[in-house]
Structure 1
């Protein structure tokens, strides 16, 4: 009888314990479920963050890295692919794919640029060669006309055409040099003064150039045309960037390792950026790409830089040593560019005297280079004839036999030449004043 109440007493306790155990079980399950839900949410957030990071890297590739790569290759600077915005993607397939895209685009741009440069050079060379042939033909015809024609009016009209043809020929030569052509014209060794005068004859404002009196140096045959072409470009650059009423002075400076040709102008000078750009062009250390020339293109200093690189002389510009307050251009010719002056030959003995002829002495002075002395106007100086005993200070005078009397109309040709020369100088001065404009070739000055 007493066991029934005890059972009834323990029954509620057991039910409570069972209920408590079930509650603990379900609470644990709920916590596990919450943890799983939180982990899933975190994984979803991480995935969304990775997707956003990849999207941002793709936008960075399209809007920043690819344009920067194209700009670097177009401007000749080393390409830089840059770094990722999210370093946690550095070793992922996304980073490898982006690097592959950049490499492929860079190689494609390089190949395309090389093909475009090759095609451009081929086109330029073809044009230069075809036009040069016509210019040489034209210059040959003009030369024959000048040699055979004595009419002063014809000479006055033809001389400016001949001078313009020389300038056109120089422009074609410098463009051909940039495109990889040889300057042409293999010559013999020539006096340095003759090389400078040859350069003067190829520029528009040749009347403003003051050449030095003489020099004992000779330019070796292989370097004659490159030196003449480089000096002509520098003279033209100096004349076009200085007032038309000012001189362009040329000096020879003897140095231990060779000789320097100094060209002084009276222009306004150059800015720091222009000097740096000119120095870069004249150094010859940077390859010239025709497809990367700016608009309008400038060829003069680029061509001189190519000549410097190919033939071993040096050219530079500065403003600190100009005698006229402008710019000084220096062309340094080392001994490897110069040639040994030819030995002077002994004067020929005079022919035997007869009863009807008398010895004749040509008393025109001879320079150290073996040429007649040049006057300020660029022509050979003609002195009065003197007896043999008065040679004195000119022991190397040339002795020539007396010539036959000239024909009666011989003076007409000389008068025509003098008149034509004066007319050319007058026309050139007038043309200088009317054609000077800021649209010249060389932008650095």
Structure 2
């Protein structure tokens, strides 16, 4: 590259003038005998000096030009790296082709950099296409696993209501829980691949049902203790995501704590929303593990390369937190382990229209009656078909019948079916027992109730199908469920101390079927 000529000409003329003046002055002062050698020597020296000055100025100009060119190239490279490449990658990851992405960004001036840009765009586009195909395949597989687990759960629950054998019932409950865990794994894969995960609820879900639903999806649910006193619900569109995130945090707490240690879950309503705290008594997380966990649940975009081994839980929680605006943090637990705090924002929290939650609708849809009474109410345990379960502050007896509970008064039926298939004339408002069935007065025989004789009684109604197993069998089945839930052995076959096999179904159903408002 040639330097500008003007500085070179100026340098040449200036050096010629200066050397010529010096040379002329030297000739004027020199003796006559030295003038001839001085002319030749001085002229040669003047020419050499002029040439040297001119060459120096020319090289200085060339250096200046090269330096400016290098600086311009550096600025172009920096602009290419800092601006063009990020925009190119962003457009390629957004689904654009290589040609479209290159046309949408600033192209460099030199051909070499343009070749680098084109090669980079083509490689990134090819990599993104491969990644998208793999993610789509995983999402498709996750969706099929979700459908399969949902169908299997429906079949298992139908079998639970159809089979009466105690051992079969216990095995079905075990398979039901294992299938629910497989469904949670399928949901996790769907979350990581960006596919649709879980079901969609049209109504808000009670917070307690959200906690119990999360509890029922983990392997160590027997060790989880819920302490929930909030009367709010989670919006239906976010309930599944919140439930899944809580299940992953509960599963981590159960897996990283001793096998016999309990995991305590607290729910507290605060002005910003609802805070759910999950505390375990396992090992305290190190600083490195704590930073890695906080980065996994932060607002940063998902990076599948950060997943270590088979631990997907925190990555799933991070995706769900970014999707629904949840906040997740960790702190040392007062129980000696680690505490995980999940903040549900106020936008996802809904209050019921009244403080009364219609728990009886769920029981009515299943043909169940649920009665709660304190254990010290004076009623004998043998007179009730309920099973007594320990709760905080005392014991609650659960009685399960066949008639749904309603708020309306019972109609005064004049006839009630007798055990032998006949009809007993009650003659007014009959006396009823705790299950709501007519009760014969003490000392009154069938002959006194029908003085006209049994031959004139009304025809008996068509026999109704059997309602299910006996109280003893139901009690055995409930004890089998409870023994299985606590990890104990099978119960004795003739155990009649508890009753209500349907109660076992109701208790287990509370871990699977959320309750809604509205």
* Smaller-chain TM-score bracket: 0.5 to 0.7
Question: Structure 1 pair 307/295, CA: closer, same or farther in 2 (3 Å)?
Answer: closer
Q: Which runs of structure 2 are paired with 1:193-272 in the superposition (5 Å)?
A: 193-212=208-227, 214-272=229-287
Distance 1:206 1:345 in 2: 25
Distance 1:97 1:271 in 2: 51
**Aligned-pair distance for 1:163?**
1.5
**Is 1:191 paired with 2:206?**
yes
**With structure 2 as the length reference, what TM-score do the two structures score?**
0.55
Distance 2:234 2:206 in 1: 6
Contact 1:192–1:218 (Cα < 8 Å) also in 2: yes
Question: Structure 1 pair 152/383, CA: closer, same or farther in 2 (3 Å)?
Answer: closer
Q: What residue ranges of structure 1 are gaps of 5+ in the alignment? A: 1-16, 55-65, 77-93, 349-360, 367-371, 386-398, 429-445
Partner of 2:171: 157
**With structure 1 as the length reference, what TM-score do the two structures score?**
0.63
**Aligned-pair distance for 1:422?**
0.9
Partner of 1:401: 436
Of 143, 166, 191, which residue of structure 2 is paired with 1:177? 191
Partner of 1:61: none
Partner of 2:137: 123
Distance 1:403 1:18 in 2: 158
Considering fraction of residues, name the structure with more strand: 2
**Aligned-pair distance for 1:340?**
2.6
Partner of 1:439: none
Contact 1:365–1:373 (Cα < 8 Å) also in 2: no
Q: Deviations 1:258-287 (Å, cap 9, x if unpaired)?
A: 32111111122222232223222223x222
Q: Which has the higher contact order (CA 8 A, sep 6+)?
A: 1
**Is 1:310 paired with 2:323?**
yes
Question: How much is the aligned-residue C-alpha RMSD, in angstroms?
Answer: 5.1
**Aligned-pair distance for 1:212?**
1.6
Distance 2:141 2:53 in 1: 76
Question: Structure 1 pair 383/107, CA: closer, same or farther in 2 (3 Å)?
Answer: closer
Partner of 1:333: 344
Contact 1:193–1:212 (Cα < 8 Å) also in 2: no
Question: Structure 1 pair 297/272, CA: closer, same or farther in 2 (3 Å)?
Answer: same
Question: Structure 1 pair 337/365, CA: closer, same or farther in 2 (3 Å)?
Answer: farther
**Aligned-pair distance for 1:185?**
1.4
Distance 1:258 1:159 in 2: 35
**Aligned-pair distance for 1:325?**
2.1
Distance 2:52 2:316 in 1: 74
Partner of 2:377: none
**Aligned-pair distance for 1:309?**
2.0
**Is 1:166 paired with 2:180?**
yes
Partner of 2:155: 141
Distance 2:435 2:204 in 1: 25
**Aligned-pair distance for 1:330?**
1.4
Of 422, 425, 428, which residue of structure 1 is paired with 2:486? 425
Contact 2:231–2:351 (Cα < 8 Å) also in 1: no
Question: 4+ residue runs of structure 1 moved beyond 6 angstroms?
Answer: 17-20, 33-44, 66-69, 345-348, 403-408
Q: Which stretch of structure 1 is more off in the superposition, 247-256 or 214-223?
A: 214-223
Q: Deviations 1:19-65 (Å, cap 9, x if unpaired)?
A: 97478537855885798699989999x999x99xx9xxxxxxxxxxx
Per the alignment, in what secondary structure is the counterpart of residue 168 of structure 1?
A: helix
Contact 1:262–1:328 (Cα < 8 Å) also in 2: yes
Per the alignment, in what secondary structure is the counterpart of residue 211 of structure 2?
A: helix
**Aligned-pair distance for 1:204?**
0.9
